[in-house]
Structure 1
Amino acid sequence: MASIGTLDTGYYVVRDGIVYADHYGDTLPQLRTENRGLTHAYYLYVSFTETLARHARWPTPWPRNQSSQT
């Protein structure tokens, strides 16, 4: 994970997104342990219904790539 190398150079790292335990289960605790500075972790649960409502408020709900616009 690039975050570990980035922390080693003294930069701050913000890790954002959907993080699957099956894939990152060992890496994130390692990142937390090896960080020489402060580590903060936050979890935000948003229901699927709320997610759909939030996306519906976007000006363009879903970005489309050129190949899907046929």
Structure 2
Amino acid sequence: MEPEIYYFLEKRQDLWNFIRKNPEWYRNLSRDASRISEMEQLAKQYYGRTVPQRLEKAQHNIQLVRMLIDMAGAFRD
């Protein structure tokens, strides 16, 4: 693996962990360092950091809060 890629990965702990869990990416980056952006996108999907995944998580949290508020209101009555 090229030293620049290695140092980049050392700085990004999330990508470093992604490679440890998906060792085929170590081989891919050793052969073609330009695939780093592809790996970053897959890591975002893996960790749930894409925009649709974040929106879904926020929506789920809002529903949970609404449910808790409704339950608290039911206990008052």
Give the alignment's TM-score, normalised by structure 1.
Answer: 0.26
Give the alignment's TM-score, normalised by structure 2.
Answer: 0.25
More helix by proportion, 1 or 2?
2
